[in-house]
Structure 1
């Protein structure tokens, strides 16, 4: 618009320039005539620019209408009268500005009969994206209702069915293994499944946890460690995937603080999480001093080493294997 206005002013510049330079003497007018001519010229050119813009808006509106009409026809043709559904997954993981722009474009361009968009997203995180762009004071819930007609929350797991995390862990591990490869650390796998369920891990977190397990499995070259060591491998893989902050301070953290952070301190001997109660005792023994260790041995809370030798901390040894690795 600024360029158009400049060109318009240039067309009258000679006339205005002559009158200004001669102060009205060249054609017998006064300087005031210059002001009137300039005002009239500017008003005329601005009117032309506005008219052109309005024409463009009308053309854009007609083009959008034609686009929607064509899209509706295509949708009806492809869907044979049934709704055509587009699925957009993990919208909350996109950049906030991109996610919101996508919502606005869907609403503006694709709101036609027979076309449905299914958004799979973390609503809380998407609302945070809105606040990030428009400010903390914005009502993110009302903003989303401009674009979303219906919200459905998926259940964590079907009632009376096996936990999907346990199923996915087995499935993902199977996909990771070569056809004839054998898993030796079977107890570790069992504990990983229990930890995934206990901590409500996402499928992505389970994949990351199994990646660390695969690294250790390869490092150990198929050695079949005892159950104690396999339990500690499992908790180390979990921390690497979900709580790297704990793994970073494993050299100095006490067993009390670690169990509290892992929420394992809540599990008692009569709990249904029998395997995690045993894991709790192993972690305590591994990080405890000699006095506490001896008391736990006397109370039969941990298995005795037939050789009577115990390392300073197996968890810290395993953690050191993963210290410079990230997935």
Structure 2
């Protein structure tokens, strides 16, 4: 058993998803027609880990069920979804007569599909390359190919006479295998497959595996599935209506979890919760101010996560780069002036996810209208001194906007007294006043992460 397969909700459930798993298992074991169904979620939302934990819980609570996990992305290279699924089902059976009987009914169905695909493939190759073949050679190759195709067609037609019988025989065998021990097949990573493979998988499930006590759960991103359908059949096809023909139930993994005491919110983005857990387990960052969830350093990073809707996977990338930066520079130590700390955290974020902004900063061409939305700032806030106390992300956003080469005027107040209030705010963030070049510390972070700067 691999480390991933050993994941359980008991060992880790930072996103409070065990209740979702319980409901899903209840549905899959109930006499409700929900197959095929989809566990939906964007890339990086923890779908695969949820699937592994779900299977472990399912196996523990319902030992009479036969559960299969198919990594569609790993099988993509085989270019045959039918064979992929049948091979997985065959793996449930011990060596012996029962397995041989299953293979005997499966092989004709697979062979028929391969033969029809072969004929279509030969025709496609000839058509695509016809212009590059000399006239005489073209006719010779066409005649030879026709003979090969005719032979294949004869075999295909022979199989076609029994195609329905072969399919029914396979379905009967599957039904017998699942009669006392229902089969649930989880198809994971379908959204990472080639579009044609993903669409073929859907069609194979619908047309071949409509069998009693055999259920399918697709763990995928339906946005990507719709894109795959349009790639295969053209942009004029209504991809959602196409999907509706295949899928009977869909639910989305929630992006929020119940809030914790001290966080100040009833609901939290799962990504924020994930960041807190990653900090707690990080041997590098657990000794910095970031790991204290009551401190503003943590709150600033959470603001970046919320505003930019970072996925779980992106949060892992961000945390890893924070570890790399601190390991090389010790640049997130507790005694760092607050303004520099914010600049460094934001710089790591830009290095990870905003390559266009990174390039602009390196070239000295920054745009306030591009920088500020990343910090949740869309316009210059109304400053009613002395009552206004902007959030740290807002202060940093206005500072960087005013020091940008384009659109800086949008964030510079007309009133002298308001300009002075903002300047006083900026200066409080730095021990010796706001640096003349606020982009210099940003570029220093870029240099460290690019391994262009020696550790300090």
TM-score by length of 2: 0.51
Q: 1:323 to 1:247 in 2, by over 3 A?
A: farther
Instruction: Say which SS state the counterpart of residue 210 (structure 2) adopts.
Output: coil
Q: 1:317 to 1:145 in 2, by over 3 A?
A: same
2:333 aligned partner: 223
RMSD of aligned Cα (Å): 3.6
Q: 1:139 to 1:182 in 2, by over 3 A?
A: closer
Matches within 5 A, 1:173-192: 173-175=279-281, 177-178=282-283, 182-186=286-290, 188-192=297-301
Instruction: Say which SS state the counterpart of residue 302 (structure 1) adopts.
Output: helix
Judge conservation of contact 1:185–1:230 (CA < 8 Å) in 2. no
Q: State the shift of 1:216 in Å.
A: 0.7
Q: State the shift of 1:140 in Å.
A: 1.4
Q: Deviations over 1:246-270 (max 9, x none)?
A: 1121132335233345263327479
CA distance in 2, matches of 1:273, 1:168: 27
Instruction: Say which SS state the counterpart of residue 208 (structure 1) adopts.
Output: helix
TM-score by length of 1: 0.69
CA distance in 1, matches of 2:390, 2:422: 24
Judge conservation of contact 1:255–1:283 (CA < 8 Å) in 2. no
Q: State the shift of 1:299 in Å.
A: 4.0
Matches within 5 A, 1:1-327: 53-79=156-182, 84-157=183-256, 160-175=266-281, 177-178=282-283, 182-186=286-290, 188-221=297-330, 223-224=333-334, 225-251=336-362, 252-254=364-366, 256-262=368-374, 264-266=376-378, 268=381, 274-284=391-401, 299-304=423-428, 305-308=430-433, 310=435, 312=437, 313=439, 314-323=441-450
CA distance in 2, matches of 1:316, 1:50: 66
CA distance in 1, matches of 2:422, 2:342: 21
Instruction: Say which SS state the counterpart of residue 77 (structure 1) adopts.
Output: coil
CA distance in 1, matches of 2:303, 2:169: 56
Q: State the shift of 1:323 in Å.
A: 4.1
Unmatched segments (≥5 aa) in structure 1 = 2-45
How many corresponding residue pairs?
A: 271
Judge conservation of contact 1:97–1:133 (CA < 8 Å) in 2. yes
CA distance in 1, matches of 2:218, 2:340: 43
Q: Deviations over 1:173-228 (max 9, x none)?
A: 334x23x9743252554322221122221111111111211111111236332221
Instruction: Say which SS state the counterpart of residue 186 (structure 2) adopts.
Output: strand
Judge conservation of contact 1:232–1:283 (CA < 8 Å) in 2. no
Instruction: Say which SS state the counterpart of residue 266 (structure 1) adopts.
Output: coil
CA distance in 2, matches of 1:138, 1:91: 20
Judge conservation of contact 1:192–1:234 (CA < 8 Å) in 2. yes
Q: Which has the higher contact order (CA 8 A, sep 6+)?
A: 2
CA distance in 1, matches of 2:445, 2:215: 50
Judge conservation of contact 2:399–2:426 (CA < 8 Å) in 1. yes
1:10 aligned partner: none
Instruction: Say which SS state the counterpart of residue 151 (structure 1) adopts.
Output: strand
CA distance in 1, matches of 2:329, 2:308: 27
Q: 1:98 to 1:272 in 2, by over 3 A?
A: farther
CA distance in 2, matches of 1:253, 1:188: 28
CA distance in 1, matches of 2:232, 2:396: 45
Q: Deviations over 1:121-144 (max 9, x none)?
A: 332222111111221222212222
Q: Deviations over 1:28-85 (max 9, x none)?
A: xxxxxxxxxxxxxxxxxx9x99886544224343332222222223233334xxxx43
Judge conservation of contact 2:375–2:397 (CA < 8 Å) in 1. no
Larger Rg computed on CA atoms = 1
Judge conservation of contact 1:233–1:318 (CA < 8 Å) in 2. yes
Q: 1:214 to 1:68 in 2, by over 3 A?
A: same
CA distance in 2, matches of 1:51, 1:318: 68
Instruction: Say which SS state the counterpart of residue 118 (structure 1) adopts.
Output: strand
Q: Deviations over 1:267-326 (max 9, x none)?
A: 74799983322332443466589xx8x95577422234444572622222212333479x
Judge conservation of contact 2:368–2:404 (CA < 8 Å) in 1. no
